């Protein structure tokens, strides 16, 4: 929380509310101490110095380093598997298919040949069971 006031000379003083648990007579549970925000003054001075430095010395023709190589894209299968995390699959064919996919996924580094198409089909079938029937118009 901050508070500001303007002095007679036109300067603006910024007050910051700081929690001071050690010196407050009520102990660590209560008390606010109003203190001058020296940090705000330092930030303002730092901004002025940066502005002066940028106007005095234009950017030198320094060669830019090449951007770091892009990381490889995430496994699209993983994005589909995350959609099942924490979701309820009712007993039956869908839960059996999901358990079979998870056993294959956990089998090794190649994830047992689980494909994106297989995961999409399982997700679409699961979403299809959750669809509400269309409402009939009131006549």
Residues 33, 23: Cα–Cα separation, whole Å = 9
pLDDT at 36: 46
- For the chain, how long is the longest CA-to-CA vector? 79
- Close Cβ partners of 102 (under 8 Å, ≥ 6 residues apart): none
Picking from 26-30, 73-77, 130-134, which range would have the lowest pLDDT averaged per residue?
26-30
- Please provide the size of the chain in residues: 139
Single out the residue of 83, 87, 113 nearest to residue 101, CA to CA.
113
pLDDT at 30: 47
pLDDT at 31: 44
Neighbour tally for 55: CB within 10 Å: 8
Tell me which of 17 and 139 has the higher pLDDT.
139
The domains of the chain are located at: 2-53, 76-130
The average pLDDT across 83-87 equals 87
């Amino acid at each position: 929380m901050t508070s500001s006031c303007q002095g007679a000379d036109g300067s603006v003083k910024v007050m910051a509310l700081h929690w001071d648990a050690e010196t407050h007579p009520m102990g660590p549970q209560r008390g606010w101490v109003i203190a001058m925000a020296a940090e705000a003054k330092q930030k303002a001075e730092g901004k002025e110095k940066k502005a002066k430095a940028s106007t005095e010395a234009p950017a030198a023709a320094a060669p830019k380093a090449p951007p770091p190589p892009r990381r490889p894209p995430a496994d699209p299968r993983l994005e589909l598997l995350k959609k099942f995390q924490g979701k309820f699959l009712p007993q039956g064919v869908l839960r059996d298919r999901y358990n079979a996919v998870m056993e294959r996924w956990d089998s090794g580094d190649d994830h047992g040949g689980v494909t994106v198409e297989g995961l999409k089909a399982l997700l679409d079938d699961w979403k299809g069971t959750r669809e509400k029937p269309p409402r009939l118009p009131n006549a």
